[in-house]
A and B are shown apart, each in its own frame.
Chain A
């Protein structure tokens, strides 16, 4: 855990974070004695987030990236592990401290169609966090709503609109304004642009970049879009079946991905450049079910560089270069 960046203290830090979802807890299953079947959505994840930076968490469906994001905000309880915010474990925070933490850490959700209450006007949606924290007077809250609308590129007349009257890009702006309302430090963005058109995505990303500059925001981007990752993030954590398999500064990772899964993933991205062809043959098989993950390294059945011991030994994340960690036996410095 010595990976420091610029010698700074991490703002948010996950330590040995795991989340297991129980399955079949019904009476019949218990009678059958099938007791403790669980999905290990997130398994022993440790991660540092530095102030003012963007950390991208990438992975395919079932990788546990969204669950990890929710754990980082205490939107669910972990099975084990801690999340330290400025050194304090958010899971042992009492009511008042937790409220203070929630002010500082906000979320922008994926689908702008589902993330806004369809029966609330836009103004009310943006105002709600201010109401919850009883910020200043109601009149000032309304003024703040106007400011926020303008800040994200909407006009104050749109406060009266219902979400269904707005386009996807406009809705995403409303979501961003609501997340900004309390001037947070950290924003977790879960697939913030994946359901938007390219040109709208560009506008949204530009807005997020501007806001980061202006308010020194720390972003955690949860995404599967590697173009967005490459463009927007400072550091990347790659997840596969609940575990981080590689973590590195963005430039280093894209220049030389080390984990075979990262390599396969990168080779499968269709780049908008016909001269740089995808390697179609590299991705093999489908991600296994998180219910029944393979032994050893979870990736070994699909790995092009699989070795005999991969099915037996669970590789640990190890530093291979400054700031770069890989969980793969290929890079282990000998036995451990």
Chain B
């Protein structure tokens, strides 16, 4: 009993700590966590299949049987939204994952070696970046086909240069750190320098970017499905639901409101998480946080703190 109690107490304490560290990341992370759990387990608790039609209740408003109403075929909207999330999240995860892996690799190589390697990698990235994302995605899906894997690939192609550019910038900062030079003097290979010394210290901005791009990927997937290039009916998709709901806006506004709101909440969650991570991972703002609360006695540098104060008064 008391063991369980202390376990719970610890959990609460830890959650409080996270909340205190960054409210934004905490709320964003919580939104996403809840969504992911609900989505992943939807088949366990939902009484409906996403394609199952209830011919008795088409265009039904929210009722006990259909919590968020039904569409024109009598399909349960809540169920479809949750199944739709599966596709949205898969596309977002897949594209961000691929973009992150490729972009980070290219970015670190460009930043680390510089010179002609940098040019060879980054010039094509610039060209790709100059292309309007949505046009690129439309072109790719239009060309290759309307499958989820194509959509993932299309969004990933848009993301690679973004990740590469962020990683390159962050690498350029870290590569001149003394500890990198020290490891080099000790005979560390290029690979070791990049993996052990640069990557862990340069990845933070990329992760922040990844969180924000997750949100944008969900928007992109919805947009593509909305214009008919993404998920195809009868598969559930948030963008597709919006598009289908348009014709019934007068009779059944929930058909667009529910998926619309769902998209907004998800994007909000990822943006909050991204902003929060920025505070948590950025050393400058982290030291400001430390300045505010703890470890004053641990490191004996009130001098340093004091000069920050001066800075502040100058600015203020």
- Whether the complex brings A and B within 8 Å at their CB atoms is answered yes
- Chain A positions near chain B (C-beta within 8 angstroms): 73, 75, 99, 102-103, 106-107, 109-111, 114-120, 128-129, 132-133, 165, 167, 175, 178-179, 182
Which residue of chain A is the closest to B184 with respect to CB atoms?
A75
Query: Taking A110-B178, A117-B201 as contacts, is the C-beta distance between A132 and B196 under 8 angstroms?
Result: no
Instruction: Show the binding face of B for A, using Cβ within 8 Å.
Output: 177-179, 181-189, 192, 196-197, 200-201, 298-300
Instruction: Flag if A114 contacts B178 (CB, 8 Å).
Output: yes
Distance, CA A165 to CA B201, complexed state (A): 17
**Cβ B179 vs Cβ A114 within 8 A:** yes
| B186: chain A residues within 8 A (beta carbon) | 102, 106, 128-129, 132, 178-179, 182
Name the CB-closest residue of B to A129.
B186
Contacts of A110 in B (CB 8 A): 178
Asked if A114 meets B177 with Cβ closer than 8 Å, knowing A119-B201, A167-B299, A167-B300, the reply is: yes
Known: A102-B187, A128-B188. A107 touches B182 (CB 8 A): yes
* Complex: chain A residue closest to B299, CB-CB: A167
The residue of chain A having its C-beta at the shortest distance from the C-beta of B179 within the complex is A117
A132 surroundings in chain B (CB, below 8 A): 186-189, 192
Instruction: List, in ascending order, chain B residues with CB within 8 A of A133's CB.
Output: 187
**Given the complex, which residues of A lie within 8 Å of B200, measured CB to CB?**
117, 119
A75 touches B201 (CB 8 A): no
For B201, what are the chain A residues with a Cβ–Cβ distance below 8 Å? Answer: 117-119
Supposing A119-B200, A120-B196, A167-B299 touch, asked if A106 and B179 sit within 8 A by C-beta, the answer is no
Report the separation of the CA atoms of residues A192 and B37 in the bound assembly, to the nearest whole angstrom: 53
- Docked-complex contact A117 and B187, CB < 8 angstroms: no
Q: CA–CA, A116 to B187, complex, Å?
A: 16
- Which residues of chain B have C-beta atoms less than 8 A from A175's C-beta? 182
Contact partners of B182 in chain A: CB under 8 A: 107, 109, 115-116, 175, 178
**Closest chain B CB from A189 CB (angstroms):** 12
**Which of B185, B298, B299 sits near A106, CB closer than 8 Å?**
B185
Looking at the assembled complex, report how far the CB atom of A136 sits from the nearest CB atom of chain B, in whole angstroms.
Answer: 16
Shortest CB distance B200–A (Å): 4
Instruction: Judge whether A116 and B185 touch: CB under 8 Å.
Output: no
Partner of B187, one of A109, A119, A129: A129
Give the Cβ gap from B245 to chain A, nearest Cβ, in Å.
Answer: 48
**B185:A73 contact, CB within 8 angstroms:** yes
Measured CA separation A167–B297 after assembly (Å): 12
Smallest CB-CB A-B distances: 7 pairs: A102-B187, A115-B178, A114-B178, A119-B200, A107-B185, A117-B179, A129-B186
> In the complex the two chains form, is A102's CB within 8 Å of B185's CB?
yes
Bound: A75/B196 CA distance, A? 19
Q: How many angstroms from the CA of A73 to the CA of B201 in the assembled complex? A: 25
Q: In whole angstroms, what is the CA distance A251 to B263 when docked? A: 77
Give Cα A115 to B187, complex, Å: 15
- In the complex, the chain B residue whose C-beta lies closest to that of A133 is B187
- Of A103, A109, A179, the residue contacting B178 (CB under 8 A) is A109
Pull 11 A–B residue pairs with CB atoms less than 8 Å apart, ordered by A: A75-B181, A102-B185, A102-B186, A103-B187, A107-B181, A109-B181, A117-B197, A128-B186, A133-B187, A178-B186, A182-B186
Q: Which residue of A lies closest to B298 (CB)?
A: A165
The listed residue (A75, A116, A182) touching B179 by CB distance below 8 A is A116
Q: Which residues of A contact B178 (CB under 8 A)?
A: 109-111, 114-115
Report B-chain residues with C-beta under 8 Å of the C-beta of A114: 177-179
Write the chain B residue with the least CB distance to A112. B178
A321 to B306, CA, bound (A): 50
How many whole Å from A108's CB to the nearest CB in chain B? 8
